[in-house]
Structure 1
């Protein structure tokens, strides 16, 4: 549905996005994650044709550069702040964009906006404005929805409601590109991870593959801790020892097994230390910083 190929984005003379390439298929829920200033919002604005770029962006094989209106006709978006007219009611704001009043009413109900939808938007709280912005993005059954920090200002109940809506739309074939700092929430819905840092995509994997590959630490116990210490040190394998339990990096586990086998040291335990999604992301970013530092 969406193809981003070798995209470079510039603001003034400064390059913000470097050589970004990825694809989104119908029903995908892509989590776009990365630290502040990594380029997440800029990448979203680039897809929407709001910034200058070179490279290729196509929606349903229509180029954003050549025919922006046709390419983006089936795209809903919430970037930074909801585009709301403050002196109109929530209902009037939705009516500006809605093609189907019944579908519009259904969204109002699903997002629990009924009690205030006829009030002027200028009196809305941050969470109310956010829900209205999400409703505008979801109007008219878009094929692709781009949401920048959609959980911003939402309480727990509203967050759960938005999560359910995203799943419901995705099940019907709508694709989502969502950025959020609340990684635990994003993890509950996303099917694919795109991790961006310094304007470059450093990970583009299915959520399952990401979690399988980036369990960064394993715990290890052997029948001879002292000989294990000597063997790991001799081979310059990094470890942390706590009692008789070693913590080792996942990339070393096959080498460690070979070393211990050669020393006739038997394993008593070798298991991944379960790490949450945030820890995996932080570990990857730290690793990349280390790579930059080494270079």
Structure 2
């Protein structure tokens, strides 16, 4: 029986015992010649490790979950194919050994806007459990963004509304939903907060919002559980700083009963 384990991309040593020196690459397409970027991979275990390496397309769902596709599957929708290549496509590292993966950009084949891909490093780990041999596939992703000149960040809060609280599992409890849209031409990391104020503009509570990682054109939904409030009228102010000239903001009035 095989179990597929997809691990999050973190700047740390993964259970595969391979550590990567970078989890993100941003490559400049303004220079119309081929360019290289290196990612060091180190075996920090006490045994030899083999891995396969390939490029994949990816995007995110509205809740920020990564989705993975074959390289070129998102052609016209953000894929960098065929502008990127990676070498080598297979690794064997002895304990303590380190090797560079080289990502090559052919700037003459880059799409007009920002594009993205990921270099996937995949290892297979056989484990004995209860007398059965189980194989775990562990994947580490190094995300790659290719940016032509003239890109601009942009963002807006499309909606601020109430919905069911799916973050805690509490029945009947409301959550505030914020819909953030990336209206610019490059990916952004938006940070913000939610302020709860009385009708007299007195601050009741300020709640930090989780970061939103948004590709161009993407819409993301952030849900915040509603805190208990005494009866009365309130104003909710959501703000998101996406790195542009302005701050995205939205207001919602609410009467607690």
* Bigger Rg, which one: 1
Verify same fold: TM over 0.5. no
Q: If each structure's strand is expressed as a fraction of its own residues, which one has the higher value? A: 2
